[in-house]
Amino acid sequence: MLNEKLKAYRIILASGSPRRQQFFKDLGLDFEIILRPVKEEYPNRLRHFEISNYLAQLKSLPFKKTLQPNDILITSDTIVWHNEQALGKPRSEQEAFNMLKSMSNKTHEVITSVCFKTMSSEKTIHDITKVTFKEFTDDEIWYYVNNFSPMDKAGAYGIQEWIGQIGVTNLEGSYFNVMGLPVHKVYQNLTDLVEK
């Protein structure tokens, strides 16, 4: 449906995340994956969704001079916001354990920002989901860290994996946003972009 409206455009998804790529396939979109490395650093003064907005926009910068008139570039970033700080991807198994331990029996926010860039426009949106975990035992956390893939995920967990299945006691907002893409908002913004 959306693909028909977008047939005059070239959709570029600048994300190596298999989950985001699958969401775009599930939307029935024809798209290309093009990756250009950026150093994912942000100013310390930024807070909350300002961080993910900044990083999503930062990821679009290497494409600035190469976009063609019919291109729509989509970049995205997800952070976990907990105890007034951003949790990105853990750099070690111990850091992954520490992140999950800090979120045990508490509520945190998952924030995903998406930047839509064309030759003539740029728009960045974000979505926030509140996730509450049960109280984890240390054994449960280590079991997850040792048997799954926390290292490539913000906040050291994937909600669709074992730890989400046994640990999430409450969710306010989009489940898919926690997986890395607020699909409902991406769909709406792509629709709006071509119906202007």
Mean pLDDT of the chain: 95
Determine the average pLDDT of the residues in 164-189.
96
Task: Answer yes or no: 77 catalytic.
Answer: yes
The DSSP annotation for 13-56 comes to: E----HHHHHHHHHTT--EEE----------TT--THHHHHHHH
Number of domains in the chain: 1
Confidence of residue 39 (pLDDT cuts 50, 70, 90): very high
Structural tokens at position 59: 């990821």
Residue 79's domain spans which residues?
Answer: 2-195
- The label of the residue with tokens 């959306």 reads 2
Structural tokens at position 162: 């074992």
Which pLDDT score, from 0 to 100, does residue 196 have? 66
Residue 127 · residue 185 · CB < 8 Å? yes
Phi/psi for 107 (5° steps) reads: -110, 135
Q: Across the chain, which distance is largest between two alpha carbons, in Å? A: 54
What is the pTM for the complete model shown?
A: 0.94
List, for residues 47-73, the tens digit of each pLDDT value: 999 999 999 999 999 999 999 999 999
C-alpha distances in Å from residue 67, one per residue of 1, 29, 54, 70, 152: 25, 19, 20, 8, 28
Packing angle of the helix pair 18-26, 183-195 (nearest 10 deg): 50
List, for residues 123-137, the tens digit of each pLDDT value: 999 999 999 999 999
Taking the C-alpha atoms of residue 31 and residue 10, their distance in angstroms, rounded to an integer, is 7
CATH number assigned to the domain comprising residue 48: 3.90.950.10
- Amino acid, res. 164: G
Query: How are beta strands 10-13 and 31-33 bridged, if at all?
Result: parallel
Catalytic residue among 26, 30, 71, 77: 77
Residue 142 · residue 162 · CB < 8 Å? no
Determine the average pLDDT of the residues in 130-156.
96
